[in-house]
Copies of this chain bind each other. A is one copy, B any other.
Amino acid sequence: MSNVQAVHAGWVIPVEPDGVVLERHTLVIDGTHIAAIVPTASWRNDLGATEIDCRRHVLVPGFVNAHTHAAMSLFRGMADDLPLMEWLERHIWPAEARVAGREFVRDGTRLAAAEMLTGGTTCFNDMYFFGDEAAAAAIEAGIRAVIGLIVIGFPSAWASDVDEYFRKAEAVHDQYRGHPLVTSAFAPHAPYTVDDAALTRVATLAEELDVPVHMHVHETVGEIEGALATHGARPLRRLEGLGLLSPRLLAVHMTAVDEDEYELLARTGVSVVHCPESNLKLASGFCPVARLLGAGVSVALGTDGAASNNRLDMLGELRSASLLAKGVSGDPCALPAAQALRMATLSGARALGLDHAIGSLEVGKLADLVAVDLSALGTQPIYDPLSQLVYASQRSQISDVWVGGRHLVRQGELTTLDSDELRASATAWRSRIAEA
């Protein structure tokens, strides 16, 4: 039996080269990789390929969710419309203290993986405790994951002190080294929860293990004011002093950027991860995306966790990013459709050091891809499939998703996870969490 799939698409948007839309093309998957992208009219089934009809669909690279806390999907909608500290101190942290163990992370990540996969996310960058459980859930689902090797200056069910966080970080890294779906990244929580000694150690180990560093940075103005009081420096400057500003760093949120910092971010090659919906919902401020891009900073996109969004929906997120960038910059030309799609795919892959393998539809890359059905009335008529994809389509129009050539969502249905089981599990966790 042939291990070749031929996806006949109405349109293919490869992301690289930039701005290209190929009409009526066939994307050929050979095993795990993209073997060809050719006009459908010129394609012949010489290899006994399985043919998949996506004539009403646009094919795009799988989305890279560059910042989430997957397991927190079990907290979705538990506490909304609250001030940040009340939300954290009275709801999220106490709930975590009660339930956030191995089983919670496994089940929560599984639910998140199901939501992300059906929404076209093929790779997620996670930050949470029990990274080994998150990795196991991702492998079970078949989704690509970058597991956060968390470091934080507080004890948790995962580790009791900084040394233990580092020991467990290295153990999780080693456990999944060479895995086809799982890589890892150091995940020091934030400048205000990790001290200089630990951050220096993160910088050194990230170099040695050759992994990214994933960190909340400048989420709010309050964080910066606190840092000025405590450290006499803005967090980004402190990280510079500790040797953390490099292409390895994913600086998540960055809602406050001063004049000098645009140049600093661009020069050091830091990737900013923009989480527009979470920033809005928590009233964290506005990331100046258009200015960052204009300054040459690479910007990726993330949903943040379901406790503060409350969706892990990258298609919705990239639309929100594009609309918000226009509103914040006052320029209706800011973050146009093609650039928003790139942010949600190739720029995320690049931030994670995975752009040699994923993030665009190119021959030789892994077959991580998504088919979006544009025949829905809400995306009619079709002047420009890119515009309909970014500004009008919704994740329910995503019919098929592949990760490394595996067909994980087929006509809207998950092939690796059981939705009824996930629903029952979520309901059981709700009872346990709400009644605790």
Contact = CB atoms under 8 A, between A and B. Distances in A.
Contacts of A119: 378
A426 B381 contact: yes
Interface in A314-350: 316, 320, 323-324, 326-327, 329-334, 336-337
A316 B313 CA distance: 13
Contacts of A434: 383
A426 B381 CA distance: 5
B81 A337 contact: yes
Contacts of A316: 394
A391 interface: yes
A330 B316 CA distance: 22
Given A286-B327, A326-B280, A377-B114, A391 B77 contact: yes
A327 B427 contact: no
Contacts of A379: 76-77
A410 interface: no
Interface stretch (A82-90, A181-189, A204-212): A82-90
A156 interface: no
A74 B380 CA distance: 8
A429 B77 contact: no
Contacts of A285: 327, 330
A77 B382 contact: yes
A8 to B, nearest CB: 19
Given A333-B83, A377-B422, A77 B384 contact: yes
A76 B376 CA distance: 13
A74 B381 contact: yes
A239 interface: no
A283 B326 contact: yes
A3 interface: no
Nearest to A79: B383
A234 interface: no
Interface in A348-385: 375, 377-384
A333 B81 contact: yes
A82 B387 contact: no
30 contacts: A74-B381, A76-B383, A77-B381, A77-B384, A80-B337, A82-B333, A83-B332, A84-B332, A115-B378, A119-B378, A277-B323, A279-B327, A280-B323, A280-B324, A281-B323, A281-B391, A282-B332, A283-B326, A283-B332, A286-B327, A311-B378, A311-B392, A311-B394, A312-B378, A313-B378, A316-B394, A377-B419, A394-B394, A394-B396, A396-B396
User: 5 closest Cβ contacts across the A-B interface?
Assistant: A396-B396, A381-B430, A77-B387, A81-B336, A280-B323
